[in-house]
Chain A
Amino acid sequence: MSITVDGIKKRFGKFQALNNVSLDIPEGKLTALLGPSGSGKTTLLRIIAGLESADSGQISFSGRDVTGLHVRDRNIGFVFQHYALFRHMTVAQNIAFGLDSLPRKQRPAKAGIQKRVSELLEMIQLPHLAQRYPAQLSGGQKQRVALARSIATQPKILLLDEPFGALDAKVRKDLRRWLRNLHDEFHFTSIFVTHDQEEALELSDQVVVMSQGRVEQVNEPIELYARPESRFVFDFLGQVNVISGQVKQGSLNQGNAWVTVPGVQHKGDAQLYLRPHEVRLATAPVAHANLPLRIEAVSLIGSEVRVELRPEGWQSEGSNNIWEVGISHAEFNSQRPTRGDLRYAVPEVGHLFTGNDAQPATVNWAEAELAPRVRLIS
């Protein structure tokens, strides 16, 4: 079942939660609604579910208008952020609730319900906890019970509100994988809300980035990360290093720092956005960039070494005037960067926002200039 959101507006008092949101959610895909708190993502999910009604606009499932349909008639599965398990019912009773609620004619017989419940318990790997009460379960177990409960009536659409928000990191990772498998197995059309960009990029087929009640960008995770279409999306999808300045004679200048911007016609204000992995560190300036930075901190985290640097003689924008660059452990071992060292940032690929343009132009130095690269490694 595909979902179409058309011109949805919602206002809470003075606060415009959703401002003319239109969206297509393709059938069978796992879509993430990503955004900071207050961006309207949960409100949109609740409107799709029918738990909230929009001020104007339309929701359709596979072309059928469901805007006026009560949540109980929409046949969706909804998983709440804090699970909302019924605490006076056992795990089995919780899972059976949707089946028990069916009108008499559609309701399976007692044995049928029991069979379905034990199948679901099997699926969430908790058959031994059928008679427990929610208070006796761990967070991860509760989440799985909540999921089983929401899909007991075999909905075509599964909606999840921050499904992993209340779990600790390890459990979150396991459950993510499990949810992905579940989705692939049952072919729901799923939407989940998250504020965690990593979760959105890792788990979904399609990411909808929202901000201030609007959709900023919709794309597949890889495309979205590689080609953000606005400053907001750029900022929100992870760490970003910015130099803001004037474009003159083919280069961007600020203070004593400059970087060439080949192929850019624009003159005047511009900002260059660089991801940590799009920048290398060198001990001397290169032909296409002079971006001196002093090392503030070096931290060994996981598979990469993160180096934090402060611009020397110029200003960065945002992130407390700090740049972040990831280097490999091999590089770390050979170069031994230490706090206080001077380094020069060498951009390889960058994204230039000029004037008031929403979309950036991609600048690629690595392809054009191989020579400096060879010199740098030495």
Chain B
Amino acid sequence: MASNRARSTRSLQHRRVGDSPAIKWLLIGIAIAVTTGLLIMPLVVIFTEALSSGWSTFADNLLDQYTLHAIGLTLFVAALTVPLNLVFGVALAWLVTRFRFPGRKLLITLIDIPFAVSPVVAGLLYLLLYGRNGWIGNWLADYDIQLMFSWPGIVMVTVFVTCPFVARELIPLMQQQGSEEEEAGVVLGASGWRIFRTITLPNIKWALIYGVVLTNARAVGEFGAVSVVAGNIRGQTNTLPLHVELLYQDYNVVGAFTSASLLAGIAVFTLAAKGFVEWRQARTVIRLQAQETV
């Protein structure tokens, strides 16, 4: 009886399934080990490799003419891509969360296409259409307009690859928030733009910011699709990820990792932004709950 009692008391201490210390710490151990090995170590490697020949080499690599050009082109592409996808993402999210209409579900599925399509295939699609042999490319060539193997092509495929991100961040949030507040705005006589700016935007601000940051990260980092349409002309159509590949193939590993460290820096910034946004949202929720209970 005494031993029975002891067993039961111990089992009482864990309320929920899997809360016994042995299982708990085993699972946490596995999670930390694998995450460290698979995710954190690669991040460490990027920076150690980049700095393996010292800071001056790092700086030299960074200030290399072609590297600087690649950085410039990459930022330029992102600067064009992000606003386009921002407008599209907000419009689509507004459409599918604020209205019911036939084909709504289909639209939501369609914007996932870029997730499912291989980046190489994405590049190919654009190459076939806008390349010299494509029906649009052929027609444009008559006016001496070349889109593929130059920066417009890079922008186009980047828009394709990154177009779901803003919408994907906004749709679940806006769905959950519902449209009551906006409807109240309509009843009070506010114009559409005023409703969006003063009611919707403050509610979705943080998700929108993260959507933009994520779009930006993917835009600067797209490799497969861009490598199909860019043509890898050093100093002309070489974006940063392509530059990384080029240096790596040239056995300039330190140079490759120097450029890679810039991209990794953007990735880390993106993760930090996400953490910040989630923290802000959680705080808003807590504040709202506190107000409700008062």
| A and B, direct touch (CB closer than 8 Å) | yes
List the interface of chain A (C-beta within 8 A of B): 50-53, 68-70, 73
In the bound complex, how far is the Cα of B4 from the Cα of A69, in angstroms?
9
In the bound complex, how far is the Cα of B8 from the Cα of A50, in angstroms?
11
Give the chain B neighbours of A68 by CB distance below 8 A: 5-6, 8-9, 12
**Does B252 have its Cβ within 8 Å of any Cβ on chain A?**
no
List the interface of chain B (C-beta within 8 A of A): 5-6, 8-9, 11-13, 15
Query: Top 7 A-B pairs ranked by shortest CB distance?
Result: A68-B9, A68-B8, A70-B11, A69-B8, A68-B5, A53-B12, A70-B8
Give the chain A neighbours of B9 by CB distance below 8 A: 68
In the bound complex, how far is the Cα of B15 from the Cα of A52, in angstroms?
8
Measured between C-beta atoms, what is the minimum distance from B146 to chain A in Å? 56
Task: A69-B8, A69-B12, A70-B12 given; name 5 further pairs at CB < 8 Å.
Answer: A50-B12, A51-B15, A53-B12, A68-B9, A70-B11
Q: List 16 A-B contacts (CB under 8 A).
A: A50-B12, A51-B15, A52-B15, A53-B12, A53-B13, A68-B5, A68-B6, A68-B8, A68-B9, A68-B12, A69-B8, A69-B12, A70-B8, A70-B11, A70-B12, A73-B8
In the bound complex, how far is the Cα of B13 from the Cα of A70, in angstroms?
9
In the bound complex, how far is the Cα of B15 from the Cα of A68, in angstroms?
13
Give the chain A neighbours of B8 by CB distance below 8 A: 68-70, 73
Measured between C-beta atoms, what is the minimum distance from A297 to chain B in Å? 30
Give the chain B neighbours of A51 by CB distance below 8 A: 15
Measured between C-beta atoms, what is the minimum distance from B211 to chain A in Å? 31
In the bound complex, how far is the Cα of B15 from the Cα of A50, in angstroms?
9
In the bound complex, how far is the Cα of B7 from the Cα of A70, in angstroms?
9
Measured between C-beta atoms, what is the minimum distance from A54 to chain B in Å? 10
In the bound complex, how far is the Cα of B11 from the Cα of A76, in angstroms?
17
Give the chain B neighbours of A53 by CB distance below 8 A: 12-13
In the bound complex, how far is the Cα of B8 from the Cα of A68, in angstroms?
5
In the bound complex, how far is the Cα of B6 from the Cα of A351, in angstroms?
51
In the bound complex, how far is the Cα of B12 from the Cα of A50, in angstroms?
8
In the bound complex, how far is the Cα of B14 from the Cα of A51, in angstroms?
10
Give the chain A neighbours of B5 by CB distance below 8 A: 68
Q: Closest chain A residue to B11 by CB distance?
A: A70
